[in-house]
């Protein structure tokens, strides 16, 4: 469990020897605790980690501590990586686990609030960009995802928003390919149904809702 006040920050040390190394070499450097390795790990995978966290959790979420949590976990557990060349897949799986844990913590906090008050309304996000309809559509779309269970939401985001291959999604969530496909079919159908019920979201469906796989459309 993450303790916000006790999470140590990664120290980005100088050096460029590993910058152009392949993932397997970088993994070996991390295992050997080479001082350059954490910096190169961050530079190589931080954009992907931040993007995945943002797309999984939705807008308006502070991602800095969660990203730090991902990289600290990778650094601490990389010794257990059986195939060093699979470093990227390992980072993806840790990011997925971190996002799922945060979603579950969010659900717990939400239920605690509901138990304390009968007013379940949350403060609306102030829209400052010119395209207010698009921002509102995005907010409504993530409210729909909030109605989907954590596991279904995770595979949906990884496949249709993050754009991972089916095999990558299955590996990231620890499911068989067949189970992953069934879960995607189920969550796709539910999300589409909820989007179609919203007049504003229907207008933005081609933008906010990618195409389904050929066997799901």
- Domain residue limits, the chain: 1-122, 125-217
**CA–CA distances in Å: residue 102 to residues 96, 186, 193:** 10, 23, 26
Q: What is the CA radius of gyration of the chain?
A: 19
pTM of the full structure: 0.62
Per-residue pLDDT in tens (0 to 9) along the chain, 217 residues:
444 333 444 544 444 577 888 999 999 999 999 988 999 999 999 999 999 998 888 866 678 888 999 999 999 899 888 898 999 999 999 999 888 888 876 644 443 343 344 343 343 333 344 467 777 888 888 888 888 888 888 898 888 888 889 998 998 888 899 999 999 999 998 888 888 888 888 887 776 666 666 555 4
Same fold, 1-122 and 125-217: no
End-to-end CA distance of the chain: 39
Distance between CA atoms of residues 192 and 135, nearest Å: 19
Q: Which of 182, 191, 195 is nearest to 153 (CA)?
A: 191
Instruction: Give the Cα separation of 45 and 58 in Å (integer).
Output: 20
Q: Which CATH architecture has domain 1-122?
A: Orthogonal Bundle (1.10)
- CATH 3.40.50.460: does it fit domain 125-217? no
């Amino acid at each position: 469990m993450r303790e916000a006040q006790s999470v140590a920050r990664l120290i980005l040390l100088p050096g460029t020897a590993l910058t152009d190394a392949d993932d397997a070499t970088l993994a070996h450097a991390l295992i050997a605790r080479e001082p350059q390795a954490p910096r190169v790990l961050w530079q190589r995978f931080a954009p992907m980690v931040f993007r995945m966290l943002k797309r999984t959790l939705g807008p308006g979420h502070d991602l800095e501590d969660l990203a730090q949590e991902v990289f600290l976990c990778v650094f601490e557990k990389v010794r257990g990586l059986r195939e060093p060349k699979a470093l990227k897949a390992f980072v993806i799986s840790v990011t997925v686990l971190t996002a799922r844990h945060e979603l579950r913590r969010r659900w717990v906090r939400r239920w605690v609030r509901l138990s304390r008050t009968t007013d379940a309304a949350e403060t609306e996000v102030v829209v400052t960009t010119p395209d207010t309809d698009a921002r509102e559509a995005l907010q409504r779309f993530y409210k729909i995802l909030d109605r989907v269970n954590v596991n279904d939401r995770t595979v949906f985001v990884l496949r249709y928003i993050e754009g991972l291959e089916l095999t990558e999604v299955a590996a990231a969530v620890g499911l068989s390919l067949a189970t992953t496909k069934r879960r995607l079919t189920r969550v796709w159908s539910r999300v589409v149904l909820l989007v179609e019920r919203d007049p504003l979201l229907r207008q933005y469906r081609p933008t906010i809702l990618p195409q389904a796989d050929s066997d799901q459309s």
